[in-house]
Structure 1
């Protein structure tokens, strides 16, 4: 499972490091149309998570993952022969649907197969995935250095090959025996029969979690386009953003997960997320004020801060999505939770390109402040819900099942 994920993410790393420039220089899309392409395709991708969550209750997760890999394989290969906004739109949309469905299925697998060790498994999974991202970004740097249309198309083909290999490895993975459902927590019974779409408290968490995924748009779209259009930093710095992000996640994810373990640890991570996002956006705001060296240092510093924010978000979003869901209907609830990053991917790029970046440095400052405010709101909402779900504990107390609650805080 992890090897297949490694190959999948290696190809995705190639795509993440080169796609913006591919659509800019090979497909000839300007910033506005590029943002619209990624945003509109992301709208279609929203369906991937709830669809996967619903199907996971009836079809083996392994089978669904294979089809997700094959869907993305076909769509990525189509990019080699298609050109123009309207031809690219449905193709990129299929990639988004398959990508979001695959990530939701991985969440379901981790929650069901690992039980109480799900946080550690998720951290290990992210470390493996980001090591693969780094490998893919390194390969992409070679193609970007060459800079020809043929080099860009070779990078696209490498991504397609990764999906084929991941599908083959997934097919060879032995299916796991079904696990006995965990006992439902107090307060969950009335929700599980209605499903996540009638659970207003859970839907409020999902809604607030949408802007909490803004770090993905900043790293994938905002930083590259801001560098190209608003700073004097060299274009070859773009793959370095992904390499830094990857290295930090590989080295720090397990440590961060251990430090903010459990649902109440996830609440503490929310506060750090808001602060780090404000600081990262602040560096972006000043990156265009100097020359190439000043811009490069500011952009690299922002990459570090936004990556630290991503580490906090990966802990909080994952742990809270599972902890707030009833165990007997977890796949459907996680499918609903997967809508958050899907929606962010649809609205994040156009918001950044047409709103934040169009407003100049002030746009980044507003984005950071707004994200911090959402963090405060989500923390309060989730704290109340967690306290309500705890039997015989009407008020907020320390998390009794979290290992972090029984050991000294790490420095």
Structure 2
């Protein structure tokens, strides 16, 4: 592991350590101590999510023009400052205002950080480096969730506020750590080049849209499985937490080894297609648990979670190759901004898709969702075939697409 990858891993670890704790406990804090009802919480988060959709590309473009490392670090420090204001929330209006500002800055910081990752790992085994960083990040999320569990167990307002302060500090540590990385030179704008060429890049937009559909699978783990287990199966309710733990541990153990085989656009295309069918299998098996015994449902759910785990690992690795290799090196910021915007939109609509369109339609809903994943897995092939002959592809990109 190179020095740059190690520093990026440290930055991501601390960031997701705080973020994991915040995500696992913040809903309880806001609804118990900050005067926000559950319905208002959902609405406020939806509004904040919409604000975050419009920040990725412009902040990514700013990173390209002003220095990716410096812009990413500055935005992370600003995210830390915005996160502190969650401690002052009292009611829906204040919560929504703070959430909008925080999410707007945080999504821009994420796009800029992804650009830093793409640039500083370009000269080595990039997929392996990103897998190592994701593994370290998953460890941070797992430990952060444990910290949140302690706060929930204590149950006092001070304990919850400590988690919120800890989250703000995690963004500050992440931002300051980035300053230890080499400064990334600004690439001058070529005469005649459009201001935001990513918005005119059809192949990259198509890849973003396909990814946007595929990453709905993340919501199966923390929304789909729990709701389905509790309301539609005889499996013990603790299975929901067990499957999340199974996934987290599996990603930590196997992400790096599985990603070693996915380093070119061709291998990414194959992995993406396989992931689509693995998610199809996950959905079919999950849908079949509704009419089985408690033991049968538990066994089917464990197998489904195994398929989902492997699908998630290879889909994530393939997504890194696709999002980074199709982006011109001098415009990493705005390109990663668009790709992460697609991911953010997916995560905004995924709870509705899973909880309403899938769960309420039972087995049929699961099968339809699985078929959608399979189609998304197949759809990336023509996108990458187009990329193979695209004029804007670099020689390296064209060569890896043919290999």
TM-score when normalising by structure 2: 0.81
What is the CA-CA distance between 1:155 and the residue it aligns to? 3.5
Alignment CA distance shift 1:381-1:170 (3 Å): closer
Q: Contact 2:119–2:329 (CA<8 Å) still a contact in 1?
A: no
Among residues 355, 358, 361, which one is paired with 2:357 in the alignment? Answer: 355
Aligned to 2:3: none
Aligned to 1:42: 49
- CA-to-partner distance for each residue in 1:332-386, whole Å, 9 max, x for gaps? 2222222210211222222223332333343222111112112212222222322
Distance in 2 separating the partners of 1:139 and 1:147: 12
Aligned to 1:408: none
Aligned to 2:122: 115
Alignment CA distance shift 1:61-1:194 (3 Å): closer
Among residues 6, 14, 17, which one is paired with 2:13 in the alignment? Answer: 6
2:107 is aligned with 1:100? yes
Distance in 1 separating the partners of 2:107 and 2:14: 17
2:350 is aligned with 1:343? no
Alignment CA distance shift 1:180-1:41 (3 Å): closer
Alignment CA distance shift 1:362-1:195 (3 Å): same
Aligned to 1:186: none
What is the CA-CA distance between 1:316 and the residue it aligns to? 2.0
Alignment CA distance shift 1:236-1:156 (3 Å): farther
Among residues 316, 319, 326, which one is paired with 1:317 in the alignment? Answer: 319
- Secondary structure of the residue aligned to 1:136 is helix
Alignment CA distance shift 1:250-1:69 (3 Å): same
Q: Contact 2:36–2:92 (CA<8 Å) still a contact in 1?
A: no
Among residues 141, 144, 149, which one is paired with 1:141 in the alignment? Answer: 149
Alignment CA distance shift 1:310-1:259 (3 Å): same
Count of residue pairs brought into register by the alignment? 391
Query: What is the CA RMSD across the aligned residues, in angstroms?
Result: 3.7
Aligned to 1:124: 132
Distance in 2 separating the partners of 1:347 and 1:362: 20
What is the CA-CA distance between 1:96 and the residue it aligns to? 3.0
Q: Contact 1:6–1:129 (CA<8 Å) still a contact in 2?
A: yes
What is the CA-CA distance between 1:154 and the residue it aligns to? 4.1
2:276 is aligned with 1:269? no
Within a 5 Å distance, the mapping from 1:372-411 to structure 2 comes to 372-388=374-390, 401=400
- Secondary structure of the residue aligned to 1:197 is helix
- Secondary structure of the residue aligned to 2:360 is coil
Gaps of 5+ in 1: 182-188, 406-411
What is the CA-CA distance between 1:261 and the residue it aligns to? 1.9
Gaps of 5+ in 2: 1-6
Distance in 1 separating the partners of 2:105 and 2:238: 29
2:60 is aligned with 1:53? yes
Q: Contact 1:39–1:349 (CA<8 Å) still a contact in 2?
A: no
Distance in 1 separating the partners of 2:391 and 2:245: 40
What is the CA-CA distance between 1:206 and the residue it aligns to? 1.7
Aligned to 2:185: 178
